[in-house]
DNA sequence: CGAAATTAGTTTACATGTCAACTATCTTCA
DNA sequence: TGAAGATAGTTGACATGTAAACTAATTTCG
């Protein structure tokens, strides 16, 4: 069996033990490299991917959200959201608003400056997606989505 | 267009703007959840995925490797490898050996304890791969590998 | 030959993701 | 009613990945 491109990339001496292992590594590596491209894009606008994601979530909701709610929509646990919101607040992109009915609850709202960042990134984000994945074409993109969904289907929710 | 499972998972209000964006998010999410499963497995044996990867690389090479070489085989830049090797060394899983011909070079070697960890994880790692991706079947796995490779093909090397 | 340039690895600072513990606030129940 | 239990968010510690700066060692070149 000829060494796959992935195998050569990794300077791996032995062939993959199984297709599943190759797929897993393929998945991680592709995802990692994809993320890197977005990291670079976001960095040009002064935010990190995780920060951008929070801004995006808040804009999508159209109103301030409690920290617990934000956490439920991201891969990050609550203490991590605290840190993210800290830094977003420091950068003037969000503000914290304590709920008057329940003093435990903190709402996070996007500032106009945060909205500006989002607006500035709307087009570049779309373009980067097309640039990185557009060559797959609609048929293969749908197939990729199908396979990824099929892969996840039996995994228990977290 | 009916909301996809992924969209519902993310409590996303609006449909995906494009198949490319859906695929990107699908990729990141699938990869993330896959990694989580391995994190849990490795944690049971007292190592993190990145540490395990380094042990694996060293065993695969069959001899000690310089830090720069290790870095070239992982997604981590050199200062990060220093930290990883620090912690591996602290745990007694690797040792540092300074090269006598070039005093700048540090070789990293797996200790017998490190080899024990690797051996203990060999089978569980294979089984987890099968468990998480085996249901796709050979045909779909090959197709997934093809699509992921095709996705990456035009991306410049880093 | 010796200074300048290059290289290998470390240190420092930062962001992010995780877990455990903690504080403040609200709800439940005897 | 007031204590116990539950909840929302924060703090602290840790690992990992990144960039910049630094130190030690080797190589290059005038």
Q: Is the pLDDT of residue A3 over 50?
A: no
Smallest CA-to-CA distance from A70 within A82, A128, A35 is with A82
Going by pLDDT thresholds of 50, 70 and 90, the confidence category of residue B104 is very high
pLDDT, tens digit (0-9, with 9 covering 90-100), for B39-78? 999 999 999 999 999 999 999 999 999 999 999 999 899 9
* Residue of A41, A147, A156, A157 to mutate for B, most B C-beta atoms under 10 A: A147
Mean pLDDT, residues B16-41:
91
B107-130: burial string, b at 16+ Cβ within 10 Å, e else:
bbebbeebeebbeebeeebeebbe
What's the pLDDT score for residue A14?
Answer: 65
Can you tell me which residue has its alpha carbon closest to the C1' of nucleotide D9?
A104
Residues of A in contact with B17 (CB under 8 A): 126
Residue A8 forms contact with B (CB below 8 Å): no
Distance CA B26, CA B5 (A): 10
Mean pLDDT, residues B14-31:
87
Q: Where are the domains of chain B?
A: 44-126
Minimum-distance CB partner of B19 among A29, A60, A145: A145
Distance CA B145, CA B156 (A): 19
User: How is B17-67 classified by DSSP, letter by letter?
Assistant: S-HHHHHHHHHHHHHHHHHHHHHHHHHHTT--HHHHHHHHHHHHHTS-EEH
Going by pLDDT thresholds of 50, 70 and 90, the confidence category of residue B93 is very high
A/B interface, count of CB pairs below 8 Å: 165
Q: Strand C neighbours with CB under 7 A?
A: A 48-51, 74-77, 79-80, 83-84, 87, 101-104; B 36, 66-69, 78-79, 81-83, 85-86, 96, 102, 104-107
Own/partner long-range contacts of A25-29 (Cβ < 8 Å, ≥24 apart): A26/B144, A26/B145, A26/B148, A26/B149, A27/A151, A27/B27, A27/B30, A27/B31, A27/B34, A27/B144, A27/B148, A28/B31, A28/B34, A28/B35, A29/B152
What's the pLDDT score for residue B78?
Answer: 96
B23/A149 CB distance under 8 A: no
19-48 in A: which are within 8 Å (CB) of B? 19-24, 26-37
Give the three-state DSSP class for B158: coil
Smallest CA-to-CA distance from B25 within A87, A56, A121 is with A56
Strand partners, A94: A110
Q: What is the ipTM of this complex?
A: 0.87
Going by pLDDT thresholds of 50, 70 and 90, the confidence category of residue A1 is very low
Query: Phi/psi of residue B106, each to 5°?
Result: -115, 120
What's the pLDDT score for residue A156?
Answer: 84
* Residues A47/A93, Cβ–Cβ less than 8 Å: yes
A20/B61 CB distance under 8 A: no
Give the three-state DSSP class for B107: strand
Residue B139 forms contact with A (CB below 8 Å): no
Nearest-5° Cα angle at A55, A50 to A58:
125
Dihedral sign (CA B43, B46, B51, B56): negative
Q: Is the pLDDT of residue A158 over 80?
A: no
What's the pLDDT score for residue B9?
Answer: 62
Per the prediction, chain A carries an average pLDDT of 91
Distance CA A34, CA A48 (A): 14
Nearest-5° Cα angle at B56, B32 to B76:
55
State what percent of residues in chain A have pLDDT above 90.
85
Structure tokens at A19: 């297709």
Structure tokens at A120: 């500035």
pLDDT, tens digit (0-9, with 9 covering 90-100), for A25-84? 999 999 999 999 999 999 999 999 999 999 999 999 999 999 999 999 998 999 999 999
Query: Phi/psi of residue A66, each to 5°?
Result: -70, 155
**β-strands A94-98, A65-66 pairing:** unpaired
Residue A109 forms contact with B (CB below 8 Å): no
Smallest CA-to-CA distance from A52 within A1, A2, A119, A105 is with A119
Q: Is the pLDDT of residue A5 over 90?
A: no
Its CATH architecture, for the domain B44-126, is Orthogonal Bundle (1.10)
Q: Give strand letter and number of the nucleotide nearest A80 (CA to C1').
A: C17
Q: Does the domain at residues A40-126 carry the CATH identifier 3.90.1150.10?
A: no
Higher pLDDT, residue B6 or A68: A68
What's the pLDDT score for residue B3?
Answer: 46
pLDDT, tens digit (0-9, with 9 covering 90-100), for A125-144? 999 999 999 999 999 999 99
* Residues B5/A151, Cβ–Cβ less than 8 Å: no
Q: What is the dihedral of CA B39, B9, A69, B16, to 10 degrees?
A: 120
Going by pLDDT thresholds of 50, 70 and 90, the confidence category of residue A17 is confident
What's the pLDDT score for residue B1?
Answer: 30
């Amino acid at each position: 069996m000829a060494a796959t491109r992935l195998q050569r990339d990794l300077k791996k001496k032995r062939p993959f033990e199984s297709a599943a292992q190759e797929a897993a590594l393929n998945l991680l590596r592709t995802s990692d490299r994809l993320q890197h491209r977005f990291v670079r894009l976001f960095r040009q606008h002064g935010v990190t991917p995780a920060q951008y994601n929070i801004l995006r979530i808040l804009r999508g909701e159209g109103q301030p959200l409690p920290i617990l709610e934000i956490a439920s929509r991201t891969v990050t646990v609550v203490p991590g959201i605290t840190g993210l919101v800290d830094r977003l607040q420091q950068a003037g992109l969000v503000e914290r608003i304590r709920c008057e009915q329940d003093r435990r609850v903190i709402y996070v709202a996007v500032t106009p400056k945060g909205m500006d960042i989002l607006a500035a990134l709307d087009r570049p984000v779309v373009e980067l997606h097309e640039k990185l994945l557009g060559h797959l074409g609609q048929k293969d993109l749908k197939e990729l989505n199908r396979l990824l969904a099929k892969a996840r289907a039996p995994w228990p929710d977290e």
